[in-house]
Structure 1
Amino acid sequence: MPDLLTFLPPGSETAAEISARDWSGTALGPPGTWPPTLRNALSLMLDCPTAMFLAWGPDLLCFYNDAYRPILGYRLDTALGRPFREVWGSIWDDIGPLVEATLAGERQTLTDVMLDLSREGRPERSWWSFTYSPVRDDSGAVAGLLCVTAETTNRVFGEAALRESEDHYRHTVELNPQVPWTCDPAGNITSYSNRWLELTGQAPGEPDGAGWAKALHPDDVPWTMTVFAASLSSGEPVDVDYRIRVAATGEYRWMRARARPRRDGTGAIVRWYGVVEDVHDRRLAEARLREVNETLERRVEAALAQRKLWADVFETTDALVAALDPDYRLLAVNRAYADEFADIYGVRPEVGDCLLDILVGHSEHRDAARAVWSRALAGEEFTTVGEFGDPRRRRSCYELKFTTLRDASGERIGAFQYAQDVTSRLRDQERLGRAEEALRHAQKMEAVGQLTGGVAHDFNNLLTIIRSSVEFLRRPNLAEERRVRYLEAVSDTVDRAARLTSQLLAFARRQPLKPEVFDLRERLSDVADMLNAVTGARIRLAVEVPDGACHVRVDQAQFETALINLAVNARDAMDGEGRLTLRLACGRPLPGIRGHAGALGPFAAVSVVDEGVGIALGLLDRIFEPFFTTKETGKGTGLGLSQVIGFAKQSGGDIEVASEVGRGTTFTLYLPQVDPPVWNDDAGSPGADAEDDERGLCVLVVEDNLEVGRFCTQLLEDLGHGTVWAHNAEAALAEVERTPFRFDAVFSDVVMPGIGGVALARRLRTSHPELPVILTTGYSDALARDDAHGFELVRKPYSAEQVARALRAVVARHRHASP
């Protein structure tokens, strides 16, 4: 027999068992009859250190090597030479299909298959990887199968534990309100939690490298990068505060970024690990007050036992701290409070004392203490300022903060006061306020000087013309042609002076306006013809308007004046040659301009676009100042753009300017858009009747200025009307009440001492609604804010024709309205 088993490798325990066994009674017969293929397979398997088994023959008798023996467990004693199905009957449902496929010639490889081998005779969970290969006989037919196997239970459990750990870590990171992050030694961000993307609104991958800095407040980027670079260079921990824009709210919040390096065996940094946490509320809160408050609330349940502990906490601050219960008794008091109290009142307060009893001899202070503490003890939390100290010496000013005390259940049990000396701060603020007031006064005087200088210059020029013309008009032998010329010069100069005054009032937004509703599309087409005459033949004027009406409610004359001023500036900027475009856009929002908030609108946007030299960036902030001009002397007053911005602001809009040197300028005038007017076809027009009605009227003139009153009554009498002159509104009311039906109209100044013209008109509208009132003014803040309050308005300086036209209009209107 030994000679027949020479193919078995020496030293193998399983080989020894094969050699010792009598195989003659088996289906294989004696080993001498075993085919060479079986012998070779057994020799290779038994000599291999990897766990293997061989199933051979029709009954698939079981052979295995020494490495496979532990896998058999309690089956080891009976497994050798038994049919493979009997050996592994407990798991045949799992491996049977594999065996059949292998015997059919297919090689099977499986990884991490869970099998219950029950090696110790009890159920177990184990995982295996194995390869089933068919073994062929000398004829090439499949005579058995060879399995190479290895247990992977430890690896499976290890990988599962690793996945659980990673999942746990991922959930811990993602649910953490802080933002963990890592970066390489050069400072390039390599990882971060999704919390950063949720906070900043950045897309995945966008924070990589240095992209995270895009989420920072622009003012904080330089400082943050400096601190970050210093830590990367020195290896010291990163600790820096910065603000990020929170995507959900649009607000900026303070964050604190911290990081420490990880080093290799040589000490070189291989990676930085850090977190970002929200410290916004912590920065805004007053740390000292919060510390005291938290200390008090933690100890309030055992008040008596913990009062000393409160006092010890209070001694960490130089503020005056005291706590009272609802009976005004001291729960706690720090040394600073006690010292100050004793210095003022000669009594040192102690825990348990009633504050009101201590102050019984100081009634004024006792009442003040009761008033302020009663609010705090009622649950009100507030801050106030008060003075403390010996009244014989300089008193200190303290900021007093009162906070409610509650027990662990939330019930209110008292209040405490936290007082900080703010004397120096208030004195500094007072000095700063005086300095700012002095600066504002200086700036105001500079502006007034510039304004009055410009006004004086222009008005002196106008007065020179008037004075010279009047002197020539006094000459008895003046030719008629020259007399007419000088009279026209005086009239024209008065009109120029009125326009100058109107421009100044428009800039100051004090110009009385006569708003009316009209369609900008139609008006721009009409104004274009007028602008052609202003700009000259070499200027190509284009008008771009949308389809459909676009109505606004503004003073039409002021609107036309604004367009003329813009067109004249554009003409001069283009040196009289180029393309000038008027463009209208409707239903637009008002953007934020010069730091002012915008509005949804709708607004009509009228743009004046030129191809001129443009405006230097440094001058854009000054172009709307009165009397500021870049034109040569004599070619501009510097009031054109002042009128435009004043008109825009007073009309509820604004003006925007965009300019590029050498490319041109665009001024965009924004005016509130309104609904189209509703016309009443049944309403008659009293204008024709009024034009035909030239009868003399009795007019009540109300004017406090003697010269103007004398001139006005003379003017009305020259127009054929009778007049009664009242020097103030009170006298006018008395005249009306004396003879109610005497007057056909009232012609009143607006600005007068006592009752003003607007108040007078309102009274008359209530008491005598049939009596028409005409208001006249050169300037009135009330009219500038609210149109003409529904009354006819004649602006000073006025002409006889303007007064006559106003009288005809109001009298005819009242006559038409009468039943």
Structure 2
Amino acid sequence: MPRRIACLIPLLVGLALAAALAAIVHADGLRHAQQTRLEVFHRLSMVQGGFEGALNARLLLARTLRVVISLDPDLNQQAFANLVKGLLADMGGVRFVKLVRDDRITHAFPEATARPGQRLSDVSPPEVGQAALRAARTGQIQVLAPTRMPEGDESVVALMPAVLPDGGHWGMVVMWIEARPLLREAGIMDASLRLDIAFREQTADGWRLMHGAASVFAADPVVMNTPVPQGVWQAGAVPLGGWRPSPNRVPLIFGGGALVLVVTTALLAIMRLLSVRLREREQYRYLVQNARSIILRIDQAGDIVFCNEHTERLLGYEPGELMGMPLVGTLIPERGPDGESAKRRLNKLLRDPAEPVLAETAVIRRSGELVWVSWAYSPVRSPDGTLVELLCVGTEITDRRKAEEALRKSERQYRLLADNVTDVIWGTDADLRVTFVSKSDLGLRGFARADVLGRPLCEFLTGVSRGRLQEAVATLKGMVAMGPEQLPAVTQDLEFLCADGRSIWLETRLGLLLNESGDSVGMLGVGRDITDRKLAEALRDDVERMARHDLKTPLGAVVGLPGEILRLGGLSEAQSAMLLTIEQAGEAMLTLINRSLDLFKMERGTYVLNRSPVDLLQTLERIKAECRFILREKGVSVGIEVEGGMPDEAVVIPAEEDLLHSMLANLLLNAFQASPEGGSVTISLALGDPLTLTIRNQGEVPPGIREAFFQKYARAEASPGSGLGTYSARLMALTHGGDISLDAATPGETRVIVTLPRR
């Protein structure tokens, strides 16, 4: 702070000099302005004196005439003219003089300017008539400011009431005084005065300009008042060109400014030279005291001779308390974690500062708490190269040591888990090259880690599973692009190759590894051996296929022989009925086997659909009729709704009629069975493309099977069915190019939505 104040001294001195210069310039300006105004006042007083003298000389003429009229009220025109002519012999600027009684002109000079008996108000401006009335009423002289006359020039009009010796009013003397000669006689026109002069008259409405420019009174003029009988005429004057600044202003500003600049610059240079050494000395101290590191200097005896403020704050010591205290025993424990003497290590370091000892040590705070510090050392030598001190710079690494220890502990725990888990855990980089695999992979597939790490994961998959892996990766990246709230993961059944040439199936949970930017940097997989389950599923499929094909041969005799026996005759009615029952059961069995074969083909994608136009509404009505027994037994009502109203024509779609009938019958029968007694089932149709058929019934699908509702063998625990109904229905819808979905979002209600193409 003191150094900053010292740097401000030249600026403050410069500001003081500038303020003094501004005061000198201002004082000189005031002096010049006062002197100029005095000169203008002197010239204006001469002009005003001349103006008052010229005006009073002419008013004296009017007063003389008033006295004459008072002594001789019957003065004739000739005597009046001779008298005025004599009075005006040495006086110019009077245009004419008139005597007026009762607003009529009785005498005039020159005589040609008016006819006897002529009204004054008829030959004069309105202002003159008003002034005449005012003079007659008050008995006082009225002097009008310069007024433009009918002849075109301006004149000062003086009206002086005349009274008789007995005090009675006789009339008045009216004198027209030409304004320009009057002003010239006063000296206003004198160019040598070098003044811009203007006159104005004070009226009831304010000031009215009589002569000159209005700008004179807007320029702070020197003013003088001239009293007239009815008020004041004010004269204002400013020098030609306006008020000018002092001629000394520019020399003072530039000369004084240069002096202020030179003095300020010189002081700045001096202060900069003086502060360079101080700044250089303080730079080192500032860096040391404000560094976020422990900085110590120790002498040859191992005692502390310097420490920065951060060291004292960090370790809890008062300023200066560590000076002279030994490093070992005060800050560094006397023995390290390995039991070796810290004093011996310090002596070794003092002999050779390059010795890698005491690189990381525990440091004791004043409270007894230990913190870990990483040290760097630098020798401080005398001019002859002798080591006199050792500079020690330490960085606290307590948090790092704790983090490293926690990381090592975590690594041990996770490695213990990964090495002992029975599932196979593997990880890859962004290019799907294996970067980690658990030990369980060796016992499960027979590959050593060295044989797997760094190789593409696809090399260990069968052809079909490679495609599944690529599909899973694409699905995961799509989930990332949609911004999932949690890490994306999918489950896939993948067939892995073993070292002995076999293959095993692993149910693998796949997840992407993302960096902070959301980019994929690898993949993590956890696989569980499901080879036995896959073999069981394959065995079951083989058994089902064998049953489908092998049952048809003996079933032919069951279906055909009852008819032959009936044709032979000789049977009782009961025997014929039993044979007919055997024949119908065989045909039903054959139909089921054929349908099972069709479903098998649909699963493999080899089923050939035999499309024909099918009336959907008629099919629905037929299914209702087939299920009338269960509807009547449970009291379930069924309604069919068509969006936009029931159409006049049939709702025809291209489909295989038997297949469509089986699919819808399956779904509707489920809805009828799931509805409570007295419930209702609604079938809604939206005739778009694709066509949407919604089956809505009361009752909920159990939450545990909603996600697997259309999977094979999926059924509720209390359900008597096989779990193939919804699976086969969706398989038929997919075969037609449509789909089926479940909507269980509304409590107490189930909606099955079927979409089918219209063409």
Q: Give the structure-2-normalised TM-score.
A: 0.31
Higher relative contact order (CA 8 A, sep 6+): 2
Larger radius of gyration: 2
Tell me the TM-score normalised to structure 1 length: 0.29
